[in-house]
C-alpha cells in the first residue's frame, strides 16, 4: 500500500503554541499512522514558490516550548491576491493555480493549515478548488468564529497582565496615568482579560466606542478619592464615539494592508492636557506574540493538532478543529471566515468589571 503523507503550513502572524501544534500533528501522523510529514515553508508563500521540506521525528522533537514557528510564516502571501512588482507599481494577481499545482506535485493526502481567519479563509477557497484541507485555529486575538478559544490567547493575556502588574508600581510611585496598548484590531478579548486580571481602572475595547469625557471623568474621580494614579488598558482597535481607529501604517504588498497602532499615545496626550496629570503610554506590540507558550496553550495546541490528524485519517476535509463547550470537536471550515468573533456586550466579565468600578469609557 502507498504510504500516506500529510503536509503542514503556518500562515499569518506568529504566536506561542504554533510549534506545539506542528509537533502534535507530525508526531501523531508518524507514530500512530506511519505517515510522512511535509512542512510547507513560510505559509502560502512556500506553496506558491514550491518551498518545502520533509519533517523528521528529531526535527519536531523538543519544540513544544518554543515560540514562533519552525516553518516560518507570511501575512502577505494570499495566492488569490498575490502582490507583484510591475514597474514602480504593485499589482495583485491570482496565482492560485500555481499553488494548487505545487501542492498536487507533493502527492500528499491532506494539508493542515494553522492560522487565523485570513489563513483559514484562503484554506476554504483552496478546499473548494480541490485541495483537501483541515484548519487549526490560531490567533492571540481569540476572535475566530467557530471555536470558544484559540491557542496563543492565554499566552498573550499572561504577558500583557504581567506588563500591567509591573506598570502599577511606576504609576503609583510617580502619580501617573499609565496607558497600556495591547493588540486587538477588531476585538477586545486581550484588553478585557488582561485589563481585568491586571486591575485596570479603564478598559477600552473596539466593541464599546469610548467617550474621552468619560475617560477623563474616571481619572478625575480617582484623584478626588485619593488615588493619584490610573491604569488604562486599550486595544489597538478601540475608537472614540463618532471617530475612527488610529492607523500606524499601510502595507502595500498585503491584501489586508491596514496596520493599527498609536491609540495609546494619542490618548496619553489628550489625558495629560485635560487633567494636568503626567501620562505615559506603553505599546506592547509584538512582545505579545513572542516567547514560550503557557501550559494552557501547550495543552490546547497539542489537543488541536492531534484532532487534525484524526480528521485527515477519517477523510473529513473542509473542517476546522475547534473547542465547543470545553470539548475538542470540529466545525465547517467556512465558519472561520464569517467575520471576527467580537466580545459580546453582555459578556459576564464586562459586567463583573463594571461592578468593581472599572470604566469602559462609556456612560454606564
Instruction: Kindly report, residue by residue over 55-70, the tens digit of the pLDDT.
Output: 999 999 999 999 999 9
Beta bridge partner(s), residue 328: 323
* Position 35 pLDDT exceeds 60: yes
- Asked if 20 and 140 sit in the same domain, the reply is yes
- Asked if 29 and 137 sit in the same domain, the reply is yes
- Asked if 112 and 167 sit in the same domain, the reply is no
CB 44 within 8 A of CB 99: yes
Mean pLDDT for all residues in the chain = 94
Question: What is the structure's pLDDT at 252?
Answer: 72
Report d(CA 117, CA 124) in Å as an integer.
10
Question: What is the structure's pLDDT at 255?
Answer: 61
* Among 222, 160, 170, CA closest to 195: 160
CATH number, domain containing residue 224: 3.40.50.460
Instruction: Kindly report, residue by residue over 156-207, the tens digit of the pLDDT.
Output: 999 999 999 999 999 988 999 999 999 998 999 999 999 999 999 999 999 9
The number of domains in the chain is 2
Return the percentage of the chain with pLDDT > 70, whole number.
98
CB 230 within 8 A of CB 281: no
* Among 75, 76, 79, CA closest to 95: 79
- Asked if 68 and 121 sit in the same domain, the reply is yes
Report d(CA 105, CA 50) in Å as an integer.
9
Instruction: Kindly report, residue by residue over 216-250, the tens digit of the pLDDT.
Output: 999 999 999 999 999 999 999 999 999 888 887 77
Catalytic residue among 42, 109, 141, 297: 141
Report d(CA 36, CA 23) in Å as an integer.
13
- Asked if 252 and 323 sit in the same domain, the reply is no
* Position 364 pLDDT exceeds 80: no
Q: Angle, nearest 10°, between helix axes 212-224 and 263-275? A: 50
Q: What is the mean pLDDT of the segment spanning 118-139?
A: 96
Question: What is the structure's pLDDT at 343?
Answer: 97
* C-alpha cell at position 309: 490528524
Is 219 domain-assigned? yes
Q: Which domain holds residue 14?
A: 5-151+293-337
Is 86 domain-assigned? yes
List, in order, residues 6 or more apart from 357 with CB less than 8 Å away.
Answer: 201
Between residues 297 and 253, the one the model is more confident about:
297
* Position 51 pLDDT exceeds 70: yes
Is 43 domain-assigned? yes
Q: Angle, nearest 10°, between helix axes 18-33 and 295-314? A: 40
DSSP 135: E
Question: What is the structure's pLDDT at 2?
Answer: 67
Q: What is the mean pLDDT of the segment spanning 246-263?
A: 75
Is 55 domain-assigned? yes
* Among 174, 73, 160, 60, CA closest to 114: 73
Is 342 domain-assigned? no
DSSP 264: H
Question: Of 289, 311, 326, which residue sits at a domain end?
Answer: 289
Report d(CA 45, CA 30) in Å as an integer.
25
Q: Which residue has the cell 484623584?
A: 223
- Asked if 275 and 332 sit in the same domain, the reply is no
* Position 357 pLDDT exceeds 70: yes
* C-alpha cell at position 181: 496598548
Q: What is the mean pLDDT of the segment spanning 71-92?
A: 89
* C-alpha cell at position 319: 473542517
Question: What is the structure's pLDDT at 140?
Answer: 95
* Position 1 pLDDT exceeds 60: no
Is 173 domain-assigned? yes
- Asked if 212 and 244 sit in the same domain, the reply is yes
Q: Is 141 one of the catalytic residues? A: yes
- Asked if 9 and 147 sit in the same domain, the reply is yes
* C-alpha cell at position 134: 483541515
Is 350 domain-assigned? no
* Position 281 pLDDT exceeds 90: yes
CATH number, domain containing residue 74: 3.40.50.450
Q: Which residues of 3-23 are buried (b: 16+ CB within 10 A; e: fewer)?
A: eebbbbbbbbbbbbbbbbbbb
- Asked if 283 and 303 sit in the same domain, the reply is no
Report d(CA 280, CA 171) in Å as an integer.
9
Question: What is the structure's pLDDT at 94?
Answer: 95
Question: Of 229, 258, 289, which residue sits at a domain end?
Answer: 289
* Among 263, 6, 286, 315, CA closest to 159: 286
- Asked if 214 and 301 sit in the same domain, the reply is no
Phi, psi of 232 (to 5 degrees): -115, 125
- Asked if 42 and 177 sit in the same domain, the reply is no
Question: What is the structure's pLDDT at 339?
Answer: 81
- Asked if 172 and 101 sit in the same domain, the reply is no
Is 346 domain-assigned? no
Question: What is the structure's pLDDT at 319?
Answer: 97
DSSP-assigned states of every residue in 203-218: EE-TTS-B-HHHHHHH
Question: Of 221, 255, 289, which residue sits at a domain end?
Answer: 289
Instruction: Kindly report, residue by residue over 86-122, the tens digit of the pLDDT.
Output: 888 889 899 999 999 999 999 999 999 999 999 999 9
Amino acid at each position: 500500500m502507498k504510504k500516506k503523507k500529510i503536509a503542514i503550513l503556518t500562515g499569518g502572524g506568529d504566536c506561542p503554541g504554533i510549534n506545539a501544534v506542528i509537533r502534535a500533528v507530525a508526531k501523531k501522523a508518524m507514530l500512530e499512522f506511519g505517515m510522512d510529514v511535509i512542512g510547507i515553508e513560510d505559509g502560502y508563500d512556500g506553496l506558491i514558490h514550491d518551498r518545502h521540506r520533509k519533517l523528521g521525528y528529531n526535527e519536531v522533537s523538543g519544540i513544544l516550548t518554543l515560540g514562533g514557528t519552525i516553518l516560518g510564516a507570511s501575512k502577505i502571501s494570499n495566492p488569490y491576491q498575490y502582490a507583484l512588482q510591475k514597474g514602480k507599481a504593485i499589482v495583485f494577481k491570482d496565482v492560485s493555480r500555481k499553488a494548487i499545482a505545487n501542492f498536487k506535485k507533493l502527492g500528499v493526502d491532506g494539508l493542515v493549515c494553522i492560522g487565523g481567519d485570513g489563513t483559514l479563509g484562503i484554506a476554504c477557497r483552496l478546499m473548494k478548488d480541490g485541495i483537501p484541507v483541515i484548519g487549526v485555529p490560531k490567533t492571540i486575538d481569540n476572535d475566530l468564529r467557530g471555536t470558544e478559544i484559540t491557542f496563543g490567547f492565554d499566552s498573550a493575556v499572561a504577558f500583557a497582565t504581567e506588563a500591567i502588574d509591573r506598570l502599577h508600581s511606576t504609576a503609583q510611585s510617580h502619580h501617573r496615568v499609565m496607558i497600556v496598548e495591547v493588540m486587538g484590531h477588531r476585538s477586545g478579548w486581550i484588553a478585557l482579560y488582561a485589563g481585568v486580571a491586571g486591575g485596570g481602572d479603564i478598559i477600552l475595547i473596539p466593541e464599546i466606542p469610548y467617550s474621552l469625557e468619560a475617560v477623563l471623568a474616571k481619572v478625575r474621580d480617582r484623584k478626588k478619592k485619593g488615588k493619584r494614579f490610573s491604569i488604562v488598558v486599550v486595544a489597538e482597535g478601540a475608537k472614540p464615539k463618532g471617530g475612527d481607529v488610529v492607523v500606524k501604517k499601510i502595507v502595500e504588498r498585503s491584501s489586508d494592508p491596514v496596520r493599527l497602532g498609536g491609540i495609546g499615545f494619542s490618548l496619553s496626550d489628550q489625558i495629560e492636557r485635560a487633567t494636568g496629570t503626567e501620562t505615559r503610554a506603553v505599546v506592547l506590540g509584538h512582545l505579545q506574540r513572542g516567547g514560550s507558550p503557557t501550559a494552557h496553550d501547550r495543552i490546547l495546541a497539542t489537543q488541536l493538532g492531534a484532532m487534525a490528524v484524526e480528521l485527515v485519517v477519517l477523510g473529513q476535509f473542509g473542517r476546522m478543529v475547534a473547542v465547543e463547550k470545553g470539548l475538542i470537536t470540529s466545525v465547517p471550515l467556512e465558519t472561520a471566515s464569517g467575520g471576527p468573533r467580537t466580545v459580546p456586550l453582555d459578556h459576564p466579565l464586562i459586567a463583573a468589571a463594571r461592578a468593581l468600578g472599572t470604566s469602559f469609557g462609556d456612560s454606564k
